[in-house]
Amino acid sequence: MTTDAFVYIGTYTKTMPHVVGKAKGIYCFEFDAATGRLSGGKLVANVANPTYLAIDPSRRFLYAVSETDSGPNQSGRITAYAIDSATGGLRMLNRRLTGGADPCYLQVDATGKAVVTANYTGGSVASFPLRADGSLGERGSFHQHVGSSINPDRQEAAHAHMARIDASNRWVFVPDLGMDKVTVYQLDAANGKVQPNT
């Protein structure tokens, strides 16, 4: 079989309210474009709840959230990995706390200089500068959402659910399930920061 690309799959590794985790972390599969088949399926990173993954524009680095509420201030984490282009293996570079519980999304900007993440249970947004070696710098910005909406079961507080960078690489759109709002931020990719839009 010919390997045209590697496909990385994030998983739940721990029991959550909506899922029973049985996986162990991030898995790598080999993709055959001619047949559409995936094969291999090897564990390449043993990490807690890597439920969302992002690859940088150079395709040399992979970033994964750990959708958890452990650590200081019940914070989740982002982990940076270097990708082995020959084997698909991952080598951990470093980790950073996101500042909020249960990060559920992350995206690398088009220049490969910043990553943004949304903390679902924490109801917040954080950003990090990316170093030349792919590792995460110190947190560049953090914004706590405040608010609620009409469904007391799911909207009792802010729940940032995504932090999506637009095609111009200037704006970050953050839909918040708890507030029933989309907040717009200005992206300063060079410094790994986001600021509320005026």
Q: Which of 115, 13, 22 is nearest to 66 (CA)?
A: 13
Beta-carbon contacts of residue 131 (< 8 Å; ≥ 6 apart): 137
The CB-side HSE value for 90 (13 A sphere, CA atoms) comes to 31
Q: What is the C-alpha to C-alpha distance for residues 178 and 160, in angstroms, rounded to an integer? A: 7
Strand partners, 106: 117
Which amino acid is it at 168? Answer: S
Residues in the chain predicted with pLDDT less than 70, given as ranges, are: 1-2, 15-21, 70-73
What is the per-residue pLDDT for 74?
77
The answer for residues whose C-beta is within 8 angstroms of residue 41's C-beta and 6 or more apart is 27, 28, 29
The whole-number pLDDT of residue 19 equals: 67
Measured between alpha carbons, how far is 146 from 94 in angstroms, rounded to an integer? 30
Dihedral sign computed on CA atoms, order 9, 13, 16, 22: positive
Integer CA distances (angstroms), 77 to 13, 40, 47, 98, 171, in order: 14, 27, 10, 5, 23
Per residue in 99-129, pLDDT tens? Answer: 999 999 999 999 999 999 999 999 999 999 9
pLDDT of res. 30:
95
